[in-house]
Amino acid sequence: MDKKYREEKEIEQDVETLINGDRVIAFSDAVFAFAATLLVLKIDLPQIPPEALSTQFSAELLKLWPQYTANFISFLIIAYYWRLHHKLFILIK
């Protein structure tokens, strides 16, 4: 029993030296952050001439509400999977 326990501990230590869990988590965090950043870069502002900006801006912005809603929902989905990913790594540890 004692020998088997020592062998298991040695295997666990070998795996920990080969795969650093913190580095894997940090890399996956970067991937999720990159995906969220791409959502923000895709947001378009309405093209309004400067002289009509004060009168048309709010109306033009309201026309784009489906795009903003889709970006918001996408961001929530990314955040949800990011949180699940962290919970998974907590279980793995």
pLDDT digit string, tens, across residues 17-61: 666 667 777 888 888 889 888 887 877 777 888 888 788 888 888
pLDDT digits (tens, 9 = 90+) for 68-90: 888 899 999 999 998 888 888 77
Mean pLDDT of 7-13: 77
Tokens of 69: 């809603």
Asked if residues 68 and 43 have their Cβ atoms less than 8 Å apart, the reply is yes
Domain edges within the chain? 64-93
Q: Distance (Å, rounded) from C-alpha 10 to C-alpha 20?
A: 16
Farthest CA pair distance, the chain: 83
Q: What's the pLDDT band for 16 if we cut at 50, 70, 90?
A: low
Mean pLDDT of the chain: 81
